[in-house]
């Protein structure tokens, strides 16, 4: 992998190793150039949990987010990480996801010496890609459980373009609304309605990132809102402010400025575009 651009930073996502593909959506390497300014990385809700390790520092776990979280990266920092699929945290972590919502927790606080040892293996790797491989190997060794199949199917149905209403899930899955909410919160950390909002916004972001990667501007906001499953542009604006802390135009301008120079998010956005987005009115929430 090339070093970070001297003018700033790089962020490159890739699919995980095959043995983790059912529980991990993407892995990444992020590099801030030694001569670059301090970089403020905006973490957004995506429904999953992340394991993140700056090379030379202990790893930490970022729980499911319900709003934006800003992480400050110093010049010369290289970070490797992985994003777990919504509902997959129980297969790799030893703590219930609801206890991690909106929290960043040192891995050694969760796993003791095993968390410290993982950080040492990542730090000892000879390159960023080797460090990423060490992180994946270490997490693969921690796998100890299966995911809840009902929640896995609910997540699949809530992906952009699959269904427009959370209310339809209990009927489709042949489960009570209360039981679905209980199992979703236990496995994901948030309920079906919050997860639906999060994944819908990730679909909006996927369309924007695809356009940026192609060197073109995203569609107009009204059209983009409808194609992403929102009732209208005002609905998109409310959700964007809720999930990113900024209105859509400001958020997209920041995304374009950041991602147009050395970012590759294809491993994240391509699955979000796999469904056919509906132009029908989505469930307002």
Segments of the chain with pLDDT less than 70: 1-7, 163-164, 260-262, 275-285
pLDDT of residue 4: 44
Counting other chains too, the contacts that 264-267 makes at CB distance below 8 Å and 24 or more residues apart are 264/11, 264/12, 264/13, 264/213, 265/11, 265/13, 265/209, 265/213, 266/13, 266/213, 267/13, 267/14, 267/15, 267/25, 267/26, 267/27, 267/28
Q: What is the CA radius of gyration of the chain?
A: 19
Start-end of CATH 1.10.10.60 domains in the chain: 149-272
* Contact by Cβ (8 Å): 80, 27: yes
> For 195-215, how does the pLDDT look when each residue is reduced to its tens digit (9 = 90+)?
999 999 999 999 988 888 888
CATH of 9-140 given 3.40.50, 2.60.120, 2.40.50, 3.30.70: 2.60.120
Structure-token pair, residue 119: 């950080």
Is-above-0.85 flag for pTM?
Answer: yes
Fold of 149-272: Arc Repressor Mutant, subunit A (1.10.10)
> For 102-132, how does the pLDDT look when each residue is reduced to its tens digit (9 = 90+)?
999 999 999 999 999 999 999 999 999 999 9
Start-end of CATH 2.60.120 domains in the chain: 9-140
């Amino acid at each position: 992998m090339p070093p970070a651009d001297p003018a700033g930073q790089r962020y490159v996502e890739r699919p995980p190793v095959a043995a983790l593909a059912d529980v991990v959506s993407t892995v990444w390497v992020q590099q801030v150039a030694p001569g670059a300014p301090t970089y403020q990385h905006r973490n957004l809700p995506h429904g999953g949990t992340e394991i993140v390790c700056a090379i030379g520092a202990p790893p930490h776990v970022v729980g499911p987010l319900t709003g934006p979280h800003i992480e400050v990266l110093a010049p010369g920092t290289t970070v490797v990480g992985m994003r777990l699929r919504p509902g997959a945290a129980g297969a790799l972590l030893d703590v219930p996801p609801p206890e991690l919502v909106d929290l960043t927790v040192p891995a050694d606080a969760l796993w003791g010496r095993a968390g410290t040892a993982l950080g040492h293996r990542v730090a000892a790797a000879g390159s960023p890609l080797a460090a990423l491989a060490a992180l994946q190997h270490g997490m693969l060794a921690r796998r100890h459980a299966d995911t809840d199949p009902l929640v896995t199917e609910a997540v699949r149905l809530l992906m952009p373009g699959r269904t427009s209403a959370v209310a339809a899930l209990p009927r489709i899955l042949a489960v009570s609304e209360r039981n679905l909410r209980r199992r979703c919160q236990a496995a994901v950390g948030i309920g079906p309605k919050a997860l639906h909002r999060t994944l819908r916004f990730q679909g909006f972001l996927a369309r924007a990132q695809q356009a940026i990667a192609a060197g073109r501007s995203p569609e107009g906001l009204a059209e983009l809102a409808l194609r992403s499953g929102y009732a209208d542009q005002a609905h998109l604006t409310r959700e964007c402010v809720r999930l990113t802390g900024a209105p859509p135009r400001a958020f997209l301008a920041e995304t374009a400025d950041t991602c147009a120079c050395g970012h590759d998010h294809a491993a994240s956005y391509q699955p979000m575009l796999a469904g056919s987005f509906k132009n029908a009115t989505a469930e307002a929430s």
